[in-house]
Amino acid sequence: MSEATATSPGATRAVPRAAPEPRRSYVRPLVLVILLVVLLALPIYVEEFWLRTGFAVCGAIVGAIGLNLLVGNTGQLSLAHAFFLACGAVTYVFISGESGGIGLADLSGLGWPPLIGMIAGVLVAGLAGLLFSPIAARLRGIYLGVASLGLVFIGQHVLNSWTSVTGGFNGRSAPEFVLFGFTFGNRDPELFVVGVPFREAERLWYLGLVLALAAYLFARNLLRSRAGRALQTLRDSEVAASVMGVNVQRYKARVFLVSSMYAGLSGVMYALSIGSIAPESFGLEVSILYLAMIVLGGLGSVGGSVLGAIFVSALPLIFQRYADAVPLVGEGGLAAGEAARYLFGLAIILVVMFEPAGLAGLAGRFRRKGRDPGGGRATRPSSAATSSSTTDVPSDRPAQGSTT
Amino acid sequence: MTQFLSLLLNGISLGAIYALIALGFVIIFKASEVVSFTHGSLLLLGAYSIARLSDPLGFYLAALVGIAITALAALIVERLIINRLRGAPVISLAIVTIGVDIILLTELIRRIGSDILNVPHPWGGGSFRMGDIGISQNRLIATVVAGVLIALFFVAFKYSSWGVSMRASAEDGETAALMGIRLGRVSALAWVVAGVLAGVAAMFLVGSPTPGVSPAVYTVALRAFPAAILGGLDSTGGALVGGLLIGMAESLAAGYQDQLLFLGRGFGDVVPYVVMIAVLLVRPSGLFGTKELTRV
């Protein structure tokens, strides 16, 4: 998305001949501003379906960024993401929901303000991550992958049996989000912007944008910081990392904490976007979809997580809506969700085999091709993935200033 | 007491089936360093093929063909994908198998739909009784067959040239390759063996007391993962012990469900994972896994 400066090593070398280099520093902010304006103005022009999809995508973006920190940047395979999503969602619904009986189930809820519910959701998910981290920190990638599989099933069991909190098999509805008296619902207050009624979908859209942007910036800055560098050293070689003074166990535990907090926020957003939670929304399949997002987007790249999340979470919805227009999908053919899953499966295989840096790598390659004759071949795809996320050098660095 | 013995016996039989699956999982890991998340859907493929083919072919032929199909599918995955990625990071390899799993599972679930396909085992759904202790005949036969297969496997692993070359390539791939062992062939064979084991496990897994082939079989197959991890991912003996342990734990938890009601209904289904996490807490590389030592 904003990995325009991914060419750090190549760029410094190419400085003398790359004439458009200085101009880039104007182009990039301009594109970002235009993008921002378009995103902000969208609710005025676009119908509700797209805004709802958009909010769901924002939730997925937050979750995917969190998972990518763990898998892509630290090299810890986790299939437990759905479990942490569930932690966030359930906590939000429990803390902000009202007590009461629905059908046979006797639900309990604290009825506290939704903002507290959201924060608590993030914290509880983080706590769950922290509780699991003694295991996570001691296990290497692949053992962790299978061990985390266990969390999903244990989570499913808890969701199904702890009826008073989770609503059991049927789930329970999620309260609307309220921020300092402003309801992210259809009323209270009624709101019109240039004649367009701003209802739940429009309001949530903005909430989603803000949260996704915050998640993006936090992750990007984290990766550029000392801690982020440590995590990436950890991925490349634990021995090297510990020799460099990185406390391997502690960093692994911490990244697990951060990643599950991301998942918690994403879970809260999921509950808001669907309006209810149910055990089936947090199954193994969800974990796998999140894995698909970051693999397709590009392991280790924050921007890649965003691209992947958009692709994976929007595709089934779009298939569903335009079932008639897409070949092989629709009546007599495949269901929308199935078609999307075939595509994800195939895409995962192709990405790992041919473009390990994912969509982010592809984007970077095209951008580089346009700029220097060396093309994208100078850097190996895998190193491109890491450099695009980590060596994201500010555009006003001295090397460039000297040429102008 | 009789209830306990009965549950224990059932647990062992279930554990034998898990051990078959886990063994395949471990062999693949040893030969090609891949943690195969495809295993669950391979198993479902085997079960589905047997169920669908029993009608035209009769059970025994269908079982043979079904097992062959599973092995063939495993071979195709290895040849088309895994073999081309040799030397890739373990995580990438695991993720690729997840990709395969998504495709295969989606296709199978679409075909099975909401039906439960029945597999007409010739030994039927009857049970075998020794005094007060009872076990379904299907499970009893499963235990015997699994025992024979596992014994055969261990003998082959120890004495056959395939076993020797596989152990050599697991020990040190580069040296093995220099000694003239063809790593590609070893890995392909490992996938085929794992496919066969999964096919056999599938055949028994869908018999009584399980109702038949449904997408739920996939989740049952996943419970063999903890078995492999718990025993140690690179230990064949560990897979056997892990399988039996998981089987017994699950059977006991399901049997004493009423006493364990405070943990929720259906707790037996998650016991394998609870046991796995408990073991990993104490021994991070499983009961019999090689401890990872790093020399700086």
pLDDT at position A391 is: 39
Say which residues have a Cβ less than 8 Å from residue A185's Cβ, sequence separation at least 6: A176, A199, A200, A203
Question: A375 CA to chain B: closest CA distance, Å?
Answer: 24
Question: A235 CA to chain B: closest CA distance, Å?
Answer: 11
What does residue A336 show for φ and ψ, rounded to 5 degrees?
-60, -45
B88–chain A Cβ distance below 8 A for any pair: yes
CA A19 to each of CA A14, A374, A404: distance values in angstroms, whole numbers, following the listed order: 9, 15, 10
Is residue B186 situated within a structural domain? yes
Query: Is the complex ipTM more than 0.95?
Result: no
Q: For the residues A97-123, what does the mean pLDDT come to?
A: 73
Which of A71, A146, A295 shows the shortest C-beta gap to B35? Answer: A146
Say which residues have a Cβ less than 8 Å from residue A262's Cβ, sequence separation at least 6: A62, A63, A65, A66, A67, A69, A215, A219
At A283-322, the pLDDT tens digits run: 888 888 888 888 888 888 888 888 888 888 888 877 777 7
Three-state SS at A313: helix
At A116-150, the pLDDT tens digits run: 888 888 888 888 888 887 777 677 667 777 788 88
Q: For the residues A279-283, what does the mean pLDDT come to?
A: 81
The Cα A380–Cα A383 span in angstroms is: 5
**Which pLDDT band holds residue A190 (cuts at 50, 70, 90)?**
low
Question: A291 CA to chain B: closest CA distance, Å?
Answer: 8
pLDDT at position A25 is: 67
Is residue B279 situated within a structural domain? no
Chain B residues in contact with A74 (beta carbon < 8 A): none
Question: Using an 8 Å Cβ cutoff, are B119 and B207 in contact?
Answer: yes
Let me know how long chain A is.
404
Find which of A30-34, A252-256, A306-310 is predicted with most confidence, using mean pLDDT. A306-310
B230–chain A Cβ distance below 8 A for any pair: no
Element (H, E) at B17: helix B2-32
Task: Please judge whether B35 and A153 are an interchain contact, meaning their C-beta atoms are less than 8 angstroms apart.
Answer: no
The residue type found at A15 is V
Computed from CA positions of residues A319, A159, A84, B272, in that sequence, does the dihedral angle turn out positive or negative? negative
Domain count, chain B: 1
Element (H, E) at B101: helix B90-112
Using DSSP bridges, classify how beta strands A196-197 and A276-277 pair: parallel, antiparallel or unpaired: unpaired
At B208-257, the pLDDT tens digits run: 777 777 877 888 878 888 888 888 877 888 888 888 888 888 888 887 77
Computed from CA positions of residues B176, B178, B181, B182, in that sequence, does the dihedral angle turn out positive or negative? positive
**Which pLDDT band holds residue B295 (cuts at 50, 70, 90)?**
low
Range of the domain at B111: 2-213
The Cα B129–Cα A185 span in angstroms is: 63
Is residue B62 situated within a structural domain? yes
What does residue B129 show for φ and ψ, rounded to 5 degrees?
-120, 135
The Cα B236–Cα B157 span in angstroms is: 10
**Which pLDDT band holds residue A384 (cuts at 50, 70, 90)?**
very low
Compute the mean pLDDT over every residue in chain B, rounded to the nearest whole number: 83
Is residue B92 situated within a structural domain? yes
The Cα B206–Cα B190 span in angstroms is: 24
Q: Cis check for the bond before B209: say yes or no (omega within 30 of 0).
A: yes
Chain A residues in contact with B88 (beta carbon < 8 A): 352
Which of A139, A157, A348 shows the shortest C-beta gap to B264? Answer: A157
Which of B92, B285, B296 shows the shortest C-beta gap to A356? Answer: B92
pLDDT at position A243 is: 82
User: SS3 sequence, A363-394?
Assistant: HHHHHHHHHCCCHHHCCCHHHHHHHHHHCCCC
Chain B residues in contact with A138 (beta carbon < 8 A): 280, 284
Question: Using an 8 Å Cβ cutoff, are A257 and A78 in contact?
Answer: no
pLDDT at position A197 is: 67
**Which pLDDT band holds residue B73 (cuts at 50, 70, 90)?**
very high
Nearest to A204 by CA among A227, A186, A229: A186
pLDDT at position A34 is: 82
Is residue B265 situated within a structural domain? no
Q: For the residues B99-108, what does the mean pLDDT come to?
A: 89
**Which pLDDT band holds residue B68 (cuts at 50, 70, 90)?**
very high
Is residue B252 situated within a structural domain? no
Nearest to A13 by CA among A378, A377, A369: A378
Find which of A52-61, A257-266, B2-11 is predicted with most confidence, using mean pLDDT. A257-266
Is residue B290 situated within a structural domain? no
